[in-house]
Chain A
Amino acid sequence: MLGKLLKYEIPAMGRKLVPLYAAWAATALFLGLATQSSDSKTEFMVVISALLYTAVATAIFVMTIILIVQRYSNSLLGDEAYFNHVLPVSVTAHIGNKAISATLWIFVTVLVAILTGILIAIGATIVSSDVGFIELIRDLISVQIDWPEHIGIYIIEVLLMVVAGVVKTIMQIYAAITIGHQAQNRTTLASIGAYIAIMVFESTVGRMLLPLFDKLITFDADSFQNFSRIAIIAIIAAAAFSVIYFFICKYLMEKRLNLN
């Protein structure tokens, strides 16, 4: 059933974000093209296009967060919940569906941000006779980089840390919304209060675990070993918090759901 839910959830967010991505790509290309010449007229264009690019980028990041909140609260605790909660689907699948879709769209947004950077570079070099974009890429590839040892493991650990951190943040938001919905009135205010309480809880637990970090990070170990230890603890901590928030959501939706 999770697959069926995702089949509808992923496009539901995409239909709002994809047009914005297209606008973002267009502003990136425009910015790149504007940087090609250096007379006073084009300098003005560069400023305008840079402002436009920044505005669209900010709007997309804000929109992604708003959509994540909206999709969860409307679908599982708002009017659409009257439809979603009568589907023969477990609460676990419902929460998992929202979390997977939100994580996916956050990474798509980051990927599009990287792509817009490339588009700026293409725009800046496409007409220029000095350096072509293809030549630029060729030059970059030909640069000999002295990669540090274990670079693959570093990258994997960093990626896992980022994924675990994103999932934890999403589950944190979901838990706050679900707790806030327990209030009969002013659910938004209650959700914000719940979010602050969750942050306090996390920082308290974090402070309690700090001595553990001190013990693990030793001066006799090399920097790679120390980094790996920190990364593993961070991943485990994020996963543990995510599981706690997931069970809060699951319990409240299964045992305390009160749609009014």
Chain B
Amino acid sequence: MARIEINHVTKQFGSLTALDSVALKLEKGQIVGLLGPNGSGKTTLIKILNGLLQPTAGNVTINGMEPGVGTKRVVAYLPDRNALPDYMTSSQLMDIYQDFFEDFDRQKAEAMVDDLGIDRSQTMKKMSKGTKEKLQLCLVMARQAEVYLLDEPIGGVDPATRDYILRTIISNYNEDAVVIISTHLIADVESVLDDVVFIKEGRVVLHKAADEIREEKGESVDKLFREVFKC
């Protein structure tokens, strides 16, 4: 049984088909890049894995379970927006994570928050957009989850923080986990990816190991991405 199974998932919003019979099996012990241009269906797929959207057809399973309380215990999700209550401080948000997630490592979260220079007593409302994103990432990556679903984790942060985030992802990654990074900033994440999924207009057009792409095509994932998604 694969850690994540996506079985011919289709998602329609009215007449728009956001996902078209997407089928994937993702094993543990890898960092997967879910790569595609804006509007290709990456976020829709991640939301379906989290149970935030219901597929029109097909189904998804994580550890053999459909999205529900059981999967939420083992999935750490970084959404593409600020979803945390804006009247709370970093410290209060860590309290919530500690209360609800058994796999949350408070010490690790505090260390990351301090490394990134986030004031623990400042409320979310007073933080900059970038700081909010960093804080959300700290909270998510401080969990010892089995599945990490990171939707655009480096989209809104400066290059120095990008490096820190990618280092954090690699250092927190373990052989029992699968990390899915959804992004269109390929060059920044390429070095950390084991597996690559190209998604175009709601369809999976490529699913290969990153090394295989480099060996077979003799080019970087970034270059291949630019060819596949050429406008």
Q: Is the pairing of A and B real?
A: yes
Q: A257 within 8 Å of B by Cβ?
A: yes
| 0/1 interface trace, chain B 53-96, chain A, CB 8 Å (1 if under) | 11000000000000001101101010101111101000000001
Are A83 and B13 within 8 A (Cβ)?
no
* B interface: dominant SS: loop
Are A85 and B54 within 8 A (Cβ)?
no
Q: Which of A74-82, A113-121, A193-201, A229-237 participates in binding chain B?
A: A74-82
Query: How many B residues face the partner with a CB closer than 8 A?
Result: 25
CB distance from A147 to the nearest CB of B (A): 47
| 0/1 interface trace, chain A 218-260, chain B, CB 8 Å (1 if under) | 0000000000000000000000000000000000000111111
Are B13 and A184 within 8 A (Cβ)?
yes
Q: B99 within 8 Å of A by Cβ?
A: yes
Separation of A82 and B46 alpha carbons in the complex (Å):
11
Are B83 and A87 within 8 A (Cβ)?
no
Which residues from A are CB-within-8-Å of B13? Answer: 184, 260
Q: A90 within 8 Å of B by Cβ?
A: yes
Separation of A87 and B50 alpha carbons in the complex (Å):
10
Q: Name the residue on A nearest B87 (C-beta).
A: A15
Q: Name the residue on A nearest B96 (C-beta).
A: A8
Are A258 and B54 within 8 A (Cβ)?
yes
Separation of A7 and B95 alpha carbons in the complex (Å):
11
Which residues from B are CB-within-8-Å of A81? Answer: 52, 83
Are A259 and B69 within 8 A (Cβ)?
no
Cross-chain contact of B84 among A7, A12, A83 (Cβ < 8 A): A83
Are B52 and A82 within 8 A (Cβ)?
yes
Q: A89 within 8 Å of B by Cβ?
A: yes
Q: Name the residue on B nearest A15 (C-beta).
A: B87
Q: B51 within 8 Å of A by Cβ?
A: yes
Q: B117 within 8 Å of A by Cβ?
A: no
Are B47 and A259 within 8 A (Cβ)?
yes
Which residues from A are CB-within-8-Å of B87? Answer: 12, 15
Q: Name the residue on B nearest A7 (C-beta).
A: B99
Which residues from B are CB-within-8-Å of A8? Answer: 96
Are B53 and A259 within 8 A (Cβ)?
yes
Q: A215 within 8 Å of B by Cβ?
A: no
With A7-B99, A257-B52 known as contacts, the answer to whether A88 contacts B83 (CB < 8 A) is: no
Which residues from B are CB-within-8-Å of A12? Answer: 85, 87
With A257-B51, A257-B53 known as contacts, the answer to whether A82 contacts B100 (CB < 8 A) is: no
Are A256 and B54 within 8 A (Cβ)?
yes
Q: A86 within 8 Å of B by Cβ?
A: yes
Which residues from A are CB-within-8-Å of B100? Answer: 1, 4, 87-89
Cross-chain contact of B52 among A7, A80, A90, A259 (Cβ < 8 A): A259
Which B residues, 16 to 64, have Cβ-Cβ distances below 8 Å to chain A?
A: 47, 50-54
Which residues from B are CB-within-8-Å of A83? Answer: 79, 83-85
Cross-chain contact of B77 among A79, A80, A86, A90 (Cβ < 8 A): A86
Are B69 and A255 within 8 A (Cβ)?
no
Beyond A82-B83, A89-B69, 7 extra complex contacts between A and B, CB < 8 Å = A4-B100, A82-B81, A87-B100, A89-B72, A184-B13, A259-B47, A259-B52
User: Which residues of A are at the interface with B, using a C-beta cutoff of 8 A?
Assistant: 1, 4, 7-8, 12, 15, 79-83, 85-90, 184, 255-260
User: Which residues of B are at the interface with A, using a C-beta cutoff of 8 A?
Assistant: 13-14, 47, 50-54, 69-70, 72-73, 75, 77, 79, 81-85, 87, 96, 99-101
Contact sample, A vs B, 29 pairs, CB 8 Å cutoff: A4-B100, A7-B99, A8-B96, A79-B81, A80-B83, A80-B84, A80-B85, A81-B52, A82-B52, A82-B77, A82-B79, A85-B50, A85-B51, A86-B50, A86-B51, A86-B72, A87-B72, A87-B100, A88-B100, A88-B101, A89-B72, A89-B100, A90-B69, A184-B14, A255-B54, A257-B53, A257-B54, A258-B54, A259-B53
